[in-house]
Chain A
């Protein structure tokens, strides 16, 4: 049954008329044309679809719209402030921490979620915080380095 669902998306109030059982990933991609959030596995195993809900990294492929109502959702498109990249985005560029780039938005959103919870993570914390985000090209070590750099920048207030 369709009903009106209101939530905040990348800082703006939005609403859609949909069945509550529909999936956030596809609603973002199909109804809002926010295609930076990727489908990778559809079952929460790979992390390509990661977004922030109330500042926490969440798998959008395993999130129903009913759970999103009234909450704040941030996707990769909502992370930069205008032309100014978020420190994690900037660090990914500086460390060349990507190849095909398909897992990258999910990696970045998961990293931002991790830093929201733990602003000063050790290398081990980063590894285990990122463990369930999969990358087939093998950019892992650069991603870890990028997250450490971003953490330093956020903490240093640069």
Chain B
């Protein structure tokens, strides 16, 4: 839960007291219900932490407006990058407020209109903000019932609501609509107490499949992303870029660039940009910059030595799990296993590169940025520009994918700086090379596992060391009496070690950790001569894990047998963002070329109460497809701070021909909703590695499992 730790740190310095903004001044009448972030944090307090709640008590984290025209608008600081929050949020509001789903509209991520939010990541929209939003809607319903009671002269307990109409239980003709009640009103309510949310049995909209609400705009080209917004007098900026992250600018001669008709060259310290109303002309001018960079010291890390380099420079380890006694466990072992797992750097590569349009509106800086973190972006822009935070407004339009990569918002700061300097609307739209260069990659990581089994196939001990990936997903999951977990480096960052930025990549750390754990478990199962599903069940008592594993085995019609059986079936399980997943996969390995083709995949997921089964299914499919990339092909080529990968010619992301037949199942459970945007990606490396073993007896210990690496592993066996 690194995001939450970060959030706690953030709150220490940033009281999100965006204070009471004067909504009524220009938002008109209606009924407003505000709900405090502290309430949401109560729900987070699983580890007993307070998350700096004192600092946030004045503010609110969601609000719902019932407008005078009867429309319901919901304002939340999250954004939609395709994950479908724009569809699942209205489902929650509609149910709690007793209105039609279609009546609810969302305003997302606008820093002037929406309550402060740390950002959209960690599969937290439904899981963490959801209860808050539902509570705000439930309170709005209670307020409306009180008003309805006054209007009809009937006590609240004799009233009922359906589709935004309040009526007397025994006489549906005596009624008043939400719209009528909101008319001419300016009511503001703040939640003090946790209101009662509806019971699962009462939910009508939540739990039913809803298609993407924004599909029509997206198939007609009307949906606006940052780069699609137009302003009079707008110019495109092409910015001088260094050859390496270790390079610093010595000098630049822009005289040739300045000869391009209509160009404006701007320089502010190391920020040098060519601006032109025609983006190609701006690019042409940039290509004429003659710059000298110096590289004082390039880190000696490249693709061919990265794991050695990282181990040599590893930060101190921190043992955050230490149960039983490892040497006792070893003593009870029939066989011990010692393996090292490697995971390389991986790029986010959303189809839309980082883009932002910035312009001044009076004395206010407006930034239309594709970002997962509009509120932190606002703070950082204000700081970079030396402006008051109140003078900066970030309004994210649609995002063309994020996956964690758009938590970083350098492009928004660049656009705002240039807009301030030139007093013009400035579009900063990175090209693909810039997108790869500045991406904060999923960090390369190493996991060392020592473990053992007894003669009955029970795991005896588990000594786990993870370097650079963090501990998300590093839970042992299985029942092991003697275990120790040591984490080297915190989360996905390791200041001063990686030669470029690293960051949160969909289910950060978890794909690396599941790869190590589930391959290690598979190795133990094979050695024990026990079917890999049976071996897992034998060592599990966590009911949710057992449920998903049994469900997926049934879906795939799993025939127990000892691996390897030459059939190319693999299994893996994991847990992320409060959700459990289990995967079974079938692969075909070409032993001549080393090419791995995934034929079929089955995935069972248990995520508590699933708000939108359609959206969640699509997220599962998306996770599976995206996961094929890091598992099989994606490699960032680099030499120190020089990122050599610059486009999709060498960076291979999943294509149509790679995609297997996919079967998904969601186990619906009447428990609080858990995350859905990330879990189904975490097993992809492990399940493929295990299936390759089943097909060929070759064990793959490094991702991506490229044909070259598969061939090398085949030769070993």
Contact = CB atoms under 8 A, between A and B. Distances in A.
A33 B212 contact: no
A75 B656 CA distance: 23
B656 A131 contact: yes
Contacts of B225: 38, 102
A75 B222 CA distance: 12
B220 A102 contact: no
Interface in B255-283: 277-280
B221 A136 contact: no
Contacts of A75: 221
Contact of A138 (B280, B429, B621): B621
B499 interface: no
A80 B350 contact: no
B219 interface: yes
B625 A140 contact: yes
A149 B124 CA distance: 35
Given A26-B280, A137-B401, A93 B219 contact: yes
A: contact size bracket:
35 or more
Interface stretch (B313-321, B376-384, B485-493, B646-654): B646-654
Interface in B657-705: 657, 659, 661-662
A34 B230 CA distance: 11
Interface string B69-83: 000000000000111
A89 to B, nearest CB: 4
B399 to A, nearest CB: 6
Main secondary structure of the interface of B (DSSP, over half): loop
A102 B219 contact: no
Contacts of A98: 82, 212, 215, 218-219
B220 A45 contact: no
Given A30-B278, A43-B647, A141 B621 contact: yes
A36 B221 contact: yes
A100 B228 contact: no
B400 A100 contact: yes
Interface string A82-120: 000100010011001011111111001000000000000
B432 interface: yes
Interface string A1-31: 0000000000000000000001100100110
A40 interface: yes
Contact of B351 (A76, A126, A134, A141): A134
A57 B653 CA distance: 22
Given A138-B622, A138-B625, A144 B656 contact: yes
B647 A45 contact: yes
Given A92-B215, A102-B401, A128 B657 contact: yes
B622 A101 contact: no
A40 B225 CA distance: 13
A38 B278 CA distance: 16
A22 B280 contact: yes
A77 interface: yes
B351 A138 contact: no
Interface of A: 22-23, 26, 29-30, 33-43, 45-46, 48, 75-77, 79-80, 85, 89, 92-93, 96, 98-105, 108, 126-128, 130-144
Q: Which 7 A-B pairs have the closest CB atoms?
A: A36-B221, A138-B625, A100-B82, A102-B400, A101-B218, A99-B82, A35-B228
